[in-house]
Structure 1
Amino acid sequence: MLPLRDTEEIETFPFVTVFLIIVNSIIFVYMYFTALEMPNPDTYFASIYLKYGLVPKKIITAPFFSSEYLTFITSIFLHGSWSHLIFNMLFLWIFGNNVEDYLGHLHFLLFYLLSGIFASLIQLSTMGVSSVPVIGASGAIAGTMGAYFLLFPRSRIRTLVFIFFFITIIEVPAPVYLLIWFLSQLFEGLTNFGVATGVAFFAHVGGFLFGLFYALLIGKHAGRKRRYLYYV
């Protein structure tokens, strides 16, 4: 099920969400076209991911206050392919603009980064001393989705559905869509535990839970009080 848009209206322009989409896109486009000029593009990409991605083995052995810890942030702005970038930015736009509208611009930026850091910590806890870099914004975006789940229970997601050769668009209640997504990530993470799948499922799970509990703890006391929350 591919989400296209949600039915929740926003009242303020999502400056931070747009900024994040632009920054992520510029970084990947720059890397992509720079790689095309290299004798071995794959080697170039690998060097970038190893330097700015989050490498468990480096984090475990890094001294306190080491610059290596900055990769908790830089890794959030790296992507491995066009599809990785496009789908992440689609999800960020659909769910991010509403959460930003609720929390406020600077608050949302802080929340987004914290979601990404927490998601990375959860993923690292499952990887031991692996030398495989963790990259991508999906952990931070999963946090945004977790917050959305709690903050916008009445929203609906217009979703593109593929059933064999039949394609249609349906509206799915946002909590249902997000719960299905979360459970699918948890299932994939548990069934592929210890297997190199190329997808950081536990980062998705950790990010979503962080966003959910973040909204539960402070969402009621931040942003627009007109919103309807589960616990109101």
Structure 2
Amino acid sequence: MFIPLHDSNGLKHIRTQYVTITLIVMNVVIWLITGPLIGEQAAMRTATGLGFIPAVAFDYAVLEPSLVLVPADATYITYAFLHADIFHLGSNMLFLWVFGDNVEDALGHVRFLIFYLACAAAGALMHGLLMPTSQGPLIGASGAVSGVIAAYVILHPRVRVWVLVLFRIPLPLPAWIPLLLWIGQQFVMLVLDTSGNVSWGAHVGGILAGGLLVPLMRRRGVPLFDRTIVTPQAVETKKPAAIPVNGKGPWGDRRG
């Protein structure tokens, strides 16, 4: 539907979004060492061992011991650091880069990390509740990132964000327009697309967790539904320079 490109929503409480940057770096490194660098067969085994498998988590099935890499409960988190390909990785990390810094700013570094992991776990849980006997591994940071998106629109709905609409038209829009449309799409697709490769349930679980947690975990004094309009730099207007009364600029008379 759209691709986020940029916002100019400055940080107010932290200097640098260390957790957001670290999460992005970790996701990229883990994708490299569990995908392109080890080959397809090994990547599939890694996805099985670290991905979230509802049937295993809910005791409908038992994973072959040679494939077990972490306890089943840990896969509620580990799955969120695996990605199928560079496009899967890139889309999740782009959303995290554009929106994660301001959510981290509103929560603080430690609470943002807890928030991110909690949204990831909620995404896995919702996926499992909707498909409890599924034996396919769930992978990807979408559940966690969905929570970040929900938090952002609750915190900063009026910030104008540059987005690429229909993958070709760049527009500066108030954040609530593209983000609420995106959130609505996840709920609609959860009902309509029950057999596709995308886990809409994980997205919805992350959205619900993010919406519930951000009011509880935000810093004291951080408002919800901030009314301040912040415009991307590319469309900011500047006051024209004052013209001297005598009609002369800094280099003398104006020339036509």
What TM-score do you get using the length of structure 1 for normalisation?
A: 0.87
Paired residue type of 1:230: F
Q: Which runs of 4+ in 1 moved over 6 A?
A: none
Specify the SS of the correspondent of 1:229.
coil
- Cross-structure match for 1:190: 191
RMSD: 2.0
Contact 1:7 1:158 in 2 (8 A): no
Task: Give the deviation of 1:160 after TM superposition.
Answer: 1.1
Contact 1:78 1:135 in 2 (8 A): yes
Distance 1:192 1:98 in 2: 32
- Cross-structure match for 1:176: 177
Distance 2:166 2:147 in 1: 26
Contact 2:111 2:217 in 1 (8 A): no
Distance 2:226 2:94 in 1: 29
Distance 1:94 1:174 in 2: 11
Q: Which has the higher helix share?
A: 1
**Stretches of structure 2 lacking an aligned partner (at least 5 in a row):** 63-69, 228-256
Identity %: 35
Contact 1:153 1:229 in 2 (8 A): no
Distance 1:119 1:34 in 2: 28
- Cross-structure match for 1:21: 24
Task: Give the deviation of 1:174 after TM superposition.
Answer: 0.8
**Stretches of structure 1 lacking an aligned partner (at least 5 in a row):** none
Match of 2:139 among 125, 135, 142: 135
- Cross-structure match for 1:202: 201
- Cross-structure match for 1:229: 224
Matched, 1:31 2:34: yes
Contact 1:149 1:212 in 2 (8 A): no
- Cross-structure match for 2:232: none
Task: Give the deviation of 1:25 after TM superposition.
Answer: 0.2
CA radius of gyration, larger in = 2
Equivalent residue runs for 1:94-105 within 5 Å: 94-105=98-109
Distance 1:18 1:74 in 2: 18
Match of 1:115 among 82, 102, 119: 119
What TM-score do you get using the length of structure 2 for normalisation?
A: 0.79
